[in-house]
């Protein structure tokens, strides 16, 4: 019986090269770009993203026109019409854009809904650009190592700068002329520490997935970048990133629960992250008191003796997987891992419910305070969430369906600014600090539903495709979604979310 010939490799065309050049710029120039320290950093990155994306859209448009002209002269037999190739994720994204359009038309603030100027510029225009680059990348991406090696090198520079800033070392003079509050709340070339934390959990989860799925010397670049990134996340001192990275690790644990070699590499990468945290702690001891403060959860990873036990568990697990020599693990491993993840989640949720509704009197300090929800919870996120939910509940049917207009929570929350100032010292807010709640108020039930359908369909497609690279890019998406429960969407990090989404779908489609 003759062997079946391998399918010929797809040609690397101009449209593929344009996408990879765009990705290199988004992974290198975009994170580092700023013009006036932190005073304009969100708009700096917004405008750069728009310019780079329009260049890609224009270039791919020309390639498409040339391609259509060639097809007219040489039609491809059996070629499906474009609408027959649409998947669930494409349809969900189209529905989300449509909801944005309707929400903008019905909004009492149509211009602000178009531009997102009331909030963080997440208006209709930005969503249309996200949709267009998603369509282009998901159809034209071809994996090249140099793209992600460049991302790892550039991100490592961002991470190292964050560590230097933590010790009040400012080689780029980013903090010159700023108050102590800005110095403590902003970091590296990303900006606010919550946004930096989001950048870290997105990139670190990508790098440890690339380490697991890459052969050759580059994998050690990704491993080093993940360790540096975890240290930078600790420097950012925001719990959102810890939440996102924990979700990514849990996702990967379940994903690789049958594959001993990939499970081993996952435990190796987690061990290296903790080792980098310990090295960071040694560096902090050398500097004495000349550094910023770490929160309770961050101090656990750096100093707490229990974290050494966790490091030992990860290292032992890596050695245990090594014993199986790359073979498929017994089904019992999957059962144990899924059970352990589910048990951990249930314990956390159980503690949250217990200390919030049953025992609301026992004093909770440090990290334990997160288990009691109140208006003060999470730097008064509890108050903002409660009021946002009340705003939605008090809306008319049109606003419930389509919201008040993309990124217009500022206007909806304005009646409570006086109370917010009196209770917590903040004169205003323009976001709910929970992306799902923000989508609910500003784009309604239909907008939120389309958003959930978009990402849930993409994650399911990535897992069901069983393509290694589809999972590599799906894990950062999941990581971002987890941290977004307590964070905000901005043009500094959200473009990377939609890029990862498109990359995952592109890889899931390929034979």
Q: Would you place residue 66 in the very low, low, confident or very high pLDDT band (cuts 50, 70, 90)?
A: confident
Question: SS3 for 188?
Answer: coil
Read off the DSSP letter of residue 81: P
pTM for the model = 0.95
Instruction: Report whether 307 contacts 301 (CB < 8 A).
Output: yes
Average pLDDT over residues 353-379: 92
Instruction: Report whether 206 contacts 500 (CB < 8 A).
Output: yes
Question: How much is the pLDDT for 329?
Answer: 83
Q: How far, in Å, CA of 253 to CA of 329, rounded?
A: 13
Sign of the torsion angle spanned by Cα atoms 388, 392, 398, 401: positive
- Residues in the chain, total: 511
Question: How much is the pLDDT for 9?
Answer: 57
Q: Would you place residue 496 in the very low, low, confident or very high pLDDT band (cuts 50, 70, 90)?
A: very high
Closest CA to 26 of 113, 124, 154: 154
Sign of the torsion angle spanned by Cα atoms 74, 79, 84, 87: negative
Question: How much is the pLDDT for 1?
Answer: 39
Residue pLDDT, tens place only, 210-227: 999 999 999 999 999 999
Residues 6+ apart with CB under 8 A from 8: none
Q: How far, in Å, CA of 389 to CA of 480, rounded?
A: 22
Q: How far, in Å, CA of 226 to CA of 413, rounded?
A: 39
Q: How far, in Å, CA of 467 to CA of 476, rounded?
A: 15
Sign of the torsion angle spanned by Cα atoms 25, 28, 29, 31: positive
DSSP 193-237: HHHHHHHHHHHHHHHHHHHHH--STHHHHHHHHHHHHHHHHHHHT
Q: How far, in Å, CA of 326 to CA of 89, rounded?
A: 34
Q: Would you place residue 178 in the very low, low, confident or very high pLDDT band (cuts 50, 70, 90)?
A: very high
Average pLDDT over residues 376-389: 95
Q: How far, in Å, CA of 53 to CA of 349, rounded?
A: 41
Average pLDDT over residues 429-455: 97
Closest CA to 429 of 358, 473, 475, 381: 381
Q: How far, in Å, CA of 118 to CA of 442, rounded?
A: 11
Residue 36: both structure tokens together:
């006036």
User: What is the signed CA dihedral for 238, 241, 242, 248, rounded to 10 degrees?
Assistant: 180
Q: Would you place residue 436 in the very low, low, confident or very high pLDDT band (cuts 50, 70, 90)?
A: very high
Across the strands, what pairs with 187? Answer: 191
Instruction: Report whether 442 contacts 77 (CB < 8 A).
Output: no
Q: Exposure pattern of 415-424 as b/e (b: 16+ CB <10 Å)? A: ebeeebeeee
Give percent of the chain above pLDDT 90: 85
Residue pLDDT, tens place only, 132-145: 999 999 999 999 99
Q: How far, in Å, CA of 327 to CA of 331, rounded?
A: 12
Residue entry with tokens 């974290």:
307
Q: How many CB atoms lie within 10 A of CB 485?
A: 16
CA distance to 318, 323, 431, per residue, from 259 (Å): 12, 12, 42
Average pLDDT over residues 159-177: 95
Q: How far, in Å, CA of 28 to CA of 182, rounded?
A: 25
Give the mean pLDDT of the chain. Answer: 93
Helix H or strand E segment including 191: strand 191-192
Least confident of 157-166, 307-316, 318-327: 318-327
Longest dimension (CA), the chain: 82
Average pLDDT over residues 460-478: 96
Q: Exposure pattern of 332-341 as b/e (b: 16+ CB <10 Å)? A: ebeeebeeeb
């Amino acid at each position: 019986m003759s062997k079946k010939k391998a399918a010929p490799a797809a040609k690397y065309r101009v449209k593929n090269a344009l996408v990879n050049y765009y990705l290199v710029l988004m992974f290198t120039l975009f994170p580092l770009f700023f013009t006036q320290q932190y005073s304009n950093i969100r708009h700096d990155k917004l405008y750069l993203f728009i310019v780079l994306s329009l260049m890609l859209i224009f270039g791919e448009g020309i390639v498409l026109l040339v391609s259509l002209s060639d097809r007219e002269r040489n039609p491809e037999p059996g070629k499906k019409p474009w609408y027959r190739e649409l998947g669930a994720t494409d349809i969900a994204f189209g529905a989300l854009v449509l909801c944005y359009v309707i929400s903008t038309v019905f909004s009492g603030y149509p211009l602000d809904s178009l531009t997102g100027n009331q909030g963080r510029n997440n208006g209709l225009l930005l969503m249309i650009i996200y949709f267009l680059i998603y369509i282009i990348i998901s159809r034209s991406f071809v994996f090249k190592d140099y793209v992600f090696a460049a991302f790892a090198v550039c991100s490592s520079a961002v991470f190292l700068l964050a560590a230097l800033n933590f010790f009040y070392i400012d080689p780029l003079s980013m903090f010159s002329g700023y108050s102590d509050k800005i110095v403590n709340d902003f970091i590296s070339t990303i900006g606010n520490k919550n946004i930096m934390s989001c950048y870290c959990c997105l990139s670190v989860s990508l790098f440890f997935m690339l380490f697991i799925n890459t052969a050759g010397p580059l994998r050690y670049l990704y491993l080093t970048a993940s360790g540096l990134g975890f240290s930078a996340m600790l420097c950012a001192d925001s719990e959102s990133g810890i939440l996102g990275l924990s979700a990514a690790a849990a996702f990967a644990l379940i994903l690789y629960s049958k594959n001993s070699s990939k499970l081993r590499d996952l435990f190796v990468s987690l061990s290296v992250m903790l080792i980098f945290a310990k090295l960071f702690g040694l560096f902090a001891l050398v500097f004495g008191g000349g550094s910023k403060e770490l929160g309770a959860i961050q101090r656990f990873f750096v100093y707490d003796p229990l974290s050494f036990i966790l490091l030992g568990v990860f290292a032992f697990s890596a050695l245990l997987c090594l014993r199986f020599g790359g073979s498929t693990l017994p089904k019992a491993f999957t059962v144990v891992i899924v059970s352990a993840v589910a048990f951990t989640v249930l314990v956390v949720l159980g503690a949250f419910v217990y200390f919030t509704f049953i025992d609301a009197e026992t004093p909770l300090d440090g990290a334990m305070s997160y288990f009691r929800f109140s208006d003060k919870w999470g730097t008064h996120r509890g108050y903002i969430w409660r009021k946002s939910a009340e705003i939605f509940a008090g809306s008319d049917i049109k606003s419930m369906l389509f919201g008040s207009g993309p990124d217009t929570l500022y206007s909806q929350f304005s009646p409570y600014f006086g109370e917010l100032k009196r209770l917590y010292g903040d004169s205003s807010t323009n976001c709910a600090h929970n992306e799902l709640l923000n989508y609910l108020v500003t784009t309604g039930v239909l907008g939120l539903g389309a958003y959930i359908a978009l990402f849930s369909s993409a994650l399911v497609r990535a897992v069901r495709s069983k393509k290694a690279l589809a999972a590599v890019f799906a894990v950062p998406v999941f990581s971002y979604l987890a941290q977004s429960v307590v964070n905000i969407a901005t043009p500094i990090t959200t473009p990377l979310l939609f890029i990862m989404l498109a990359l995952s779908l592109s890889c899931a489609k390929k034979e």
